[in-house]
A and B are shown apart, each in its own frame.
Chain A
Amino acid sequence: GQSLEQPSEVTAVEGAIVQINCTYQTSGFYGLSWYQQHDGGAPTFLSYNGLDGLEETGRFSSFLSRSDSYGYLLLQELQMKDSASYFCALHEGGRRALTFGSGTRLQVQP
């Protein structure tokens, strides 16, 4: 089967940088996505990595190392509005559905 692990909670201050890690296990890896979900809201897509390396989208970047079965989401210049849950999600070849991690709750403090 497949599984993902990510920390349950992270706290950081406004303006700081935070890294949320995700490790995964699967026999059919295709890619890793990151989603953001505010309380009471829907998950929204942030970033996707299919190949090793860093993908940058504004203040958010995502990294993947397929040899280590590991990825991370990097959030820079943290703002209060970044307080939310962040999920890594596993894409597997030949399968359209995603497998989601349990989520990391990020709390940004002033």
Chain B
Amino acid sequence: ETGVTQTPRHLVMGMTNKKSLKCEQHLGHNAMYWYKQSAKKPLELMFVYNFKEQTENNSVPSRFSPECPNSSHLFLHLHTLQPEDSALYLCASSQAKGLAGEETQYFGPGTRLLVL
């Protein structure tokens, strides 16, 4: 058990649907992240939230909309996605140790998304 949970674990959606991915961390961490993992590609950072404030947006299309209502919960709202958005979406959390840099990230199991 990693202390980071994600729901749903699998999701199939059409290009006109709207859905949301949920992530919850039970580790008391103060930063949360969304990553995208496609086949044969490295993990791609999407968004970073530090103390509930978005601090990085890695040029992600606006059809992906993150929301961080508190330091334990992170959502990724999806709308009008494209088939190339099919991937594993991973949530992670970490705890700051003074200067940013040395932090272990703890990952959730991911949501496997298929866009038809």
Contact = CB atoms under 8 A, between A and B. Distances in A.
A52 B17 CA distance: 50
Interface residues of B, number: 29
Given A41-B109, A43-B107, A45-B105, A94 B100 contact: yes
Contacts of B43: 43, 87, 100
Given A30-B101, A45-B106, A97-B33, 7 more contacts: A30-B102, A41-B109, A48-B104, A50-B101, A96-B33, A96-B50, A96-B96
A97 B56 contact: yes
Interface of B: 2, 4, 31, 33, 35, 40-43, 45, 48, 50, 55-56, 90, 94, 96, 99-110
Question: What interface size band does chain A fall in?
Answer: 20 to 34
A100 B103 contact: no
Given A42-B108, A100-B42, A31 B90 contact: no
Interface of A: 4, 30-31, 33, 41-45, 48, 50, 87, 91-103
A96 B55 contact: yes
B101 A102 contact: no
A99 B43 CA distance: 8
A98 B41 CA distance: 15
A41 B107 CA distance: 10
A31 B110 contact: no
Nearest to B31: A96
Contact of A91 (B33, B45, B102): B102
A31 B100 CA distance: 11
Nearest to B49: A96
Contacts of A42: 2, 4, 90, 107-110
A42 to B, nearest CB: 4
Given A42-B2, A42-B110, A45-B106, A95 B33 contact: no
A95 B45 CA distance: 12
